Structure 1
Amino acid sequence: RRVSILTKEGIVTGVTGKRAIHLMSPEDRKKVPETHEIWIDLGVKNKEEAEALVRIGDSAVYDQSFELIRGSVGVARAFDDKAGAYAVMEAVLRLSQEQNLAAKVTAAATTQEEIGTRGAMTAAFSENPDFAIAVDVGHATDSPDCDPRKYGQFVQGGGPIICRGPNINPVIFDKIVACAEANQIPYQIEADPRPTGTDARAIQVAQAGIATGLLSIPLRYMHTPSEMVDLEDIEHTVQLLVAFSKSLQKGDRGIW
């Protein structure tokens, strides 16, 4: 698979290497290679040429661009969580045109969610808001091999997924649902009995505790180079964030 290596001098193209199937034994063909058994081929002749192009620690990403494949359905790498970051940014842009917002709205694009929600920890501690909504992606389970009895029933194109559970403040949950219904925004509900696998789990316990909600954009094929979303779900997430922010009044608190 082709990759782009991000160096100080620019992008260097490489290919993940693996022995051709014709040269493998039947046992090797069934084996999933481990990380140390995969290399990136830069098309160079020796180590010196490679070291002139890249350095240890340079990041490499799959060379997979965005493409609309059907209607509003798009495929790209890293929709998790570029889709969420875009939704937040677009919501803030639209809110900037509002004249009578009662709430101060702050946005944060956090880092290192996958390795410990570290960016959310520091951002939530710094801002200490009255309310917070984490925006991430969630599993669309409408593909052939997903059992809705096990994973829940979440449809791509069905609107943002509103989470409910111990990680979620019930006042925020009710307010988000009310905003969706008042503005005829399609939505889906997920029940999660544990701390969610999102920044919401870090935000909830920051400072003395922050009333937290979670919106997830339905996504197929998470953590692959070809993640799939319906752009309408992203748009409806933006609309719901805007509606929620506009609904807040001075003195609102996440206390029930």
Structure 2
Amino acid sequence: WGVIEGRKGPKVMLAGHADEVGLMVKYIDDTGFLFFCPIGGIDAHLLPGKRVNIHGAGGVVKGVIGRKPIHLLEAEERTKVAKIKDLAIDIGAETKEAAEKVVAVGDAVTFADGVEHLLGDKVMGRGFDDKAGSLVVAEALRRIAKEKKKLACSVYGVSTVQEELGLRGATTSAFGIDPEVGICIDVTFATDHPGSDKKSSGDIRLGRGPVISRGANINPRLFELAVETAKKHKIPYQIDGAPRATGTDANVMQLNRSGVATVLISVPLRYMHTSAEVISLSDAENTAELVARLALAVNPKISFKPE
């Protein structure tokens, strides 16, 4: 993590997780094919035909997740989603021994997709959940450092890991830092594309600014301060209702030690946990500005005890 020391005051922890969903080599068969298991929540619909990178000890090995051609599928098979345990990665090896020279059981597998620009300020790529959050933390720290003389707290910027496996990195980071205030930066479901249900997931759109969550996981006073800060600095924002645990690092930050005043600020994102997630660059920039301004607004005189 990185720290910006301000005047004597509370410790503020900014957290965005750097890990992403992926796969892991589980078994290598006699003909050199790699069978795998998911790391995090993976949609099996999307796997056949995906190009992947296996991160072996000697470097990256290219592969593809194969499946029987549609011409050879029985009618019943065409309507069913292939089970992950039945899919395999082809790296071109012809024997188990050849495969084991470059990969091993336990090697991590990532999707080979890169970042590409769409129309306007939209970009697509893998791992925006939550590398977008890590980017926001770094950019917020840069902006805070430029106005350090105004800072009435110490700001800890953390790029957490293993969020997708159970919020593990934020658990240890929050314990070590012991902050009074926690600002979690993640992504959240945009509902501005076909198939979305605004009635159950809210009206969240790309290009409309960061999303401030409100609910049981969020300190009411810190939520109010985030909204007040956005209005004061004319930062566009959206609000999402979160009646229970949010499933983000904010969960464990809130419950750290004797409790931490926590808020969740998210970048809207389409197609979460696919290899072609889509975000708006203006949303990422506005999220960084809001996080920076919120940290600069924290001072020892503010009580975050709910009234």
Same fold? TM cut 0.5? yes
Letter in 2 for 1:192: A
The equivalent of 1:184 in structure 2 is 234
The equivalent of 1:207 in structure 2 is 257
Q: Deviations over 1:192-248 (max 9, x none)?
A: 110111111111111000000000110000000100000100000000011111112
The equivalent of 2:164 in structure 1 is 114
SS of the aligned residue for 2:154 comes to coil
1:93 paired to 2:105: no
Q: In structure 1, how many angstroms separate the alpha carbons of the residues matched to 2:171 and 2:249?
A: 8
Q: Contact conserved, 2:57 with 2:102, CA < 8 A, in 1? A: no
Q: Contact conserved, 1:155 with 1:218, CA < 8 A, in 2? A: yes
Alignment map for 1:1-256 (pairs within 5 Å): 1-100=50-149, 101-256=151-306
Q: Contact conserved, 1:142 with 1:155, CA < 8 A, in 2? A: yes
Letter in 2 for 1:214: L
What is the deviation of 1:117?
Answer: 0.9
Q: Deviations over 1:52-82 (max 9, x none)?
A: 1101111111110001111210000010000
Letter in 1 for 2:152: A
Q: In structure 2, how many angstroms separate the alpha carbons of the residues matched to 1:204 and 1:9?
A: 41
Q: Contact conserved, 1:131 with 1:253, CA < 8 A, in 2? A: no
Aligned length: 256
Q: In structure 2, how many angstroms separate the alpha carbons of the residues matched to 1:102 and 1:199?
A: 24
What is the deviation of 1:251?
Answer: 3.7
Q: In structure 1, how many angstroms separate the alpha carbons of the residues matched to 2:277 and 2:168?
A: 24
Q: Contact conserved, 1:220 with 1:227, CA < 8 A, in 2? A: yes
Q: In structure 1, how many angstroms separate the alpha carbons of the residues matched to 2:245 and 2:86?
A: 35
SS of the aligned residue for 2:146 comes to coil
SS of the aligned residue for 1:209 comes to coil
Letter in 1 for 2:187: V
**Aligned structure 1 segments of 4 or more residues deviating by more than 3 angstroms:** none
* TM-score, with length taken from structure 1: 0.97
What is the deviation of 1:108?
Answer: 1.2
SS of the aligned residue for 2:60 comes to strand
- Bigger proportion of residues as strand: 2
Q: Contact conserved, 1:217 with 1:234, CA < 8 A, in 2? A: yes
Q: Deviations over 1:95-133 (max 9, x none)?
A: 122231111000111111122111111111111111111
* TM-score, with length taken from structure 2: 0.82
SS of the aligned residue for 1:109 comes to strand
